[in-house]
Amino acid sequence: MSRHPTIVTLSLSKGVLAAIAVVVFAQPALARELALANGTIAIHDAASGLRSPTCAELVVEARDALDNHLIGRTQPETDTDGTCRYALSVPAQMAVWLRLRPALVADARVDMTSAGSTYVPAPAADHRASSRSVQIRFTIISPNTYFFAPNEKKTVPLSY
């Protein structure tokens, strides 16, 4: 009977060591699962009567192509040579949409409670799947969908 507690103790200690190894060694692996999207932004001439936005008036967004949630956002900067450039960290091994939009549109969300109006939020919807439903998820592959390898630095030119 003296052997059984030793075996249990050894198996528990191996499990604890394995858990510690996963926690300690998994952290650097997660950091390597990022990539860098960068490039230039071409701003085309606006239609008659309108003006083209400047580089400082644009925002580059990275969104998950599966469910369209915002992953990252940055404002491009103008280089010394006058070129509009951006750089954005994105997750690797995942479909990512890169979008370029005016900053005024991207920042137009207003907190209605602080705006002074009487704001009544809509009741929360029940988004639970029933036991008989099937959820189908798919990714729309479009011209602005990109896939990145871990630690990849991909140049993606954008235009507005």
Distance of alpha carbon 26 from the chain centroid: 21
* C-alpha–C-alpha distance, residues 97 and 95, integer Å: 7
Domains of the chain: 35-108+139-159 (2.60.40)
Any idea which residue has 């690797």 for tokens? Answer: 92
What is the pTM for the complete model shown? 0.60
Which stretch of 13-17, 57-61, 87-91, 149-153 has the lowest confidence by average pLDDT? 13-17
CA–CA separation, 143 and 145 (whole Å): 6
Give, as one character, the DSSP assignment of residue 108: -
**CB-facing half-sphere around the CA of 60: CA atoms within 13 A:** 26
Closest CA to 30 of 85, 93, 124, 95: 93
Gap between the Cα atoms of 26 and 19, Å rounded: 10
pLDDT tens, 68-127? Answer: 889 999 999 999 999 999 999 999 998 899 999 988 755 555 555 555 555 555 555 555
Question: How does pLDDT run across 20-50, given as a tens digit for each residue?
Answer: 444 444 444 444 589 999 999 999 988 888 8
